[in-house]
Amino acid sequence: MRLNYFTFKKEDIECSHCSWKGKGTALCYGDFSEAHAICDMNCPSCFETIGFWAGPLKEELEKWNRENPGVTTGWE
At residue 49 the predicted structure's pLDDT band, cuts being 50, 70 and 90, is very high
Which pTM does this prediction carry? Answer: 0.86
Burial 1-18 (b: 16+ CB within 10 A, else e): eebebbebbeeebebeee
| Within-domain flag for 2 | no
pLDDT over 90 (residue 74): no
**How many separate domains does the chain show?**
1
| Within-domain flag for 47 | yes
Q: Could you tell me where the beta strands, DSSP code E, fall in 1-76? A: 12-14, 21-23, 28-33, 38-42, 49-54
Digit-coded pLDDT (tens) for 9-45:
999 999 999 999 999 999 999 999 999 999 999 999 9
| Within-domain flag for 76 | no
Dist. CA 72–CA 76, nearest whole Å: 7
| Within-domain flag for 3 | no
pLDDT at 15: 98
| Within-domain flag for 38 | yes
Q: What is the mean pLDDT of residues 47-66?
A: 94
Note down the domain range covering 49. 8-67
